[in-house]
Amino acid sequence: MAGLKNDRFLRALARDPVDVTPVWIMRQAGRYLPEYRATREKAGDFRALCMTPELACEVTLQPLRRFPLDAAILFSDILTVPDAMGLGLYFTEGEGPGFRHPVRTEADVDRLGIPDPEGELKYVIDAVRLIRRELAGAVPLIGFAGSPWTLATYMVEGGSSRDFGRIRRMLYQDPALLHRLLDKVATAVALYLNAQIAAGAQAVMLFDTWGGVLSAHAYRAFSLAYMTRIVAALTREREGRRVPAILFTKNGGLWLEAIADAGPDAVGLDWTIDLGEARARVGKRVALQGNMDPMLLYASPARIREEVAFLLERFGKGSGHVFNLGHGVTPDVDPERVATLVAAVHELSRSYHVA
């Protein structure tokens, strides 16, 4: 892509040769950075931070000023789509997100509209445009959305949940209603991601945070089927280059081959699966992203380097690996530990790639 100074991330997703393994970190813009906390205080609350393009741009760029990361990821929240569908999103300090109008009946599903990305979600699309401009081709920008199943868990439960009792009961008591809900959400997510791509996102990722709570057959029917549909609907080429898609299901290692067959360019892995075994299972079908346990960032720098070395060895030689955590960086991590991680990946991976 013209003007892209560092395209390791995109090259690795295409399994093209790279000089070193690229690295970015889920939740790399977040509360572990003092500059993020200062910006959030300036915004007043998390919702205002997400909905102000200039502030979303600022926190997207903050980790790139500290660390030589190989990609930026749009700062936003997965619940922007259901919020734009009229559910009344709010955040409570210490308790997380909630919805004033949860979706539990046929009438609730009927009331849901498909939001216009350049209307109700324009603040996100404007942030994408602004971030692309401010990045000035330094690294690629990743756009993202929550998977339909994961978004539906919040929509039906009314917020976070420990056992997902309401939506899992709906799944078995009224599967047709749940499919109608997921169908609407999938349509909205596909439009949203394509709008991010049109605005400048150079890769997109679907976060299926709660797919792993499902049984094997329910996962395929109520989560993977809708992600497969979204991937098929995505714009896959823009600005003369492929726009790769990454699918990430937390606790999804059991279904790795099925996820790889859903059409993505890469599969994100949490820390519960062995990276070498995952590579053997998917072969040349997809690239892999992951998968260090986020808790290792509390270890000593020497232990972090040791884990990086282990994971690089488990993947082995050649391209097709994007180093990441198996989930997001936690709020009280020392930023210097993140610096250690990023430096170790770039230094120790060089020997796995042909110059």
Q: Give pLDDT, residue 1.
A: 42
Question: Rounded to whole angstroms, how far apart are CA atoms 234 and 227?
Answer: 11
Indicate if the pLDDT at residue 3 is higher than 80.
Answer: no
Q: What is the pLDDT of residues 32-65, one digit of tens each?
A: 999 999 999 999 999 999 999 999 999 999 999 9
> Has 168 been annotated as catalytic?
no
As separate numbers, helices (DSSP H) first and strands (DSSP E) second, the chain gives 16, 11
Mean predicted lDDT score pLDDT of the chain: 96
Token pair listed for 286: 């997809």
What secondary structure does DSSP assign to 252-316, as a single string?
A: -GGGHHHHHTTS-SEEE--TTS-HHHHHHHHTTS-EEEEEE-GGGGGS-HHHHHHHHHHHHHHH-
Strand locations in the chain, DSSP E?
Answer: 72-73, 89-92, 96-99, 141-146, 203-208, 237-238, 241-242, 245-249, 266-268, 287-292, 321-325
Residue 52's closest CA among 68, 61, 63, 39?
39
b/e code 262-285 from CB counts within 10 Å (16+ = b): bbbbbbbbbbebebeebbebbeee
Q: Which pLDDT tens digit goes with each residue over 18-37?
A: 999 999 999 999 999 999 99
Query: Which one of 11, 15, 32, 77 is the catalytic residue?
Result: 77
Give start and end residues of each alpha helix (H) in 14-52.
Answer: 34-43, 46-51
Per residue in 217-237, pLDDT (tens digit) is 999 999 999 999 999 999 999
Annotation marks residue 77 as catalytic? yes
Q: Is residue 345 part of a domain?
A: no
305 as an active site residue: the answer is no
For the segment 273-287, what is each residue's pLDDT rounded down to a tens digit?
999 999 999 999 999
Q: How far apart are CA 150 and CA 94, in angstroms?
A: 20
One-letter amino acid at 148 equals P
Catalytic residue among 19, 37, 40, 66, which? 40
Q: Which of 36, 154, 219, 226 is catalytic?
A: 154
Asked whether the predicted pLDDT for residue 169 surpasses 90, the reply is yes
Q: Is residue 4 part of a domain?
A: no
Q: How many CB atoms are located within 10 Å of the residue 107 CB?
A: 8
pLDDT value of position 92: 80
Q: Is 328 within a domain?
A: no
The pLDDT tens digits for 301-349 are 999 999 999 999 999 999 999 999 999 999 999 999 999 999 999 999 9
- How much is the pLDDT for 354? 79
Check if 154 is active-site: yes
CATH of the domain at 150: 3.20.20.210
Within 13 Å of residue 337, how many CA atoms lie on the same side as its CB?
22
Residues tagged in the binding site annotation: 27-31, 77, 154, 209, 327
Other beta carbons within 10 angstroms of residue 251's beta carbon come to 17
Domain assignment of residue 111, yes or no: yes
Joined together, the tokens standing for residue 249 give 């299901």
Place of tokens 């991601």: 193
The answer to the question of residue 324 being in a domain is no
Whether the per-residue pLDDT at 294 is higher than 80: the answer is: yes
Given this model, what pLDDT does residue 355 score? 60
For 197, the domain range is 34-287
Task: Tell whether 331 is covered by a domain.
Answer: no
- 71 within some domain: yes
Domain count, the chain: 1
3-class DSSP assignment, residue 143: strand
Tell me the β-bridge partners of 145: 206
Residue 40 appears among annotated catalytic residues? yes
User: Catalytic one among 11, 27, 168, 279?
Assistant: 27
- Flag whether 22 is in a domain: no
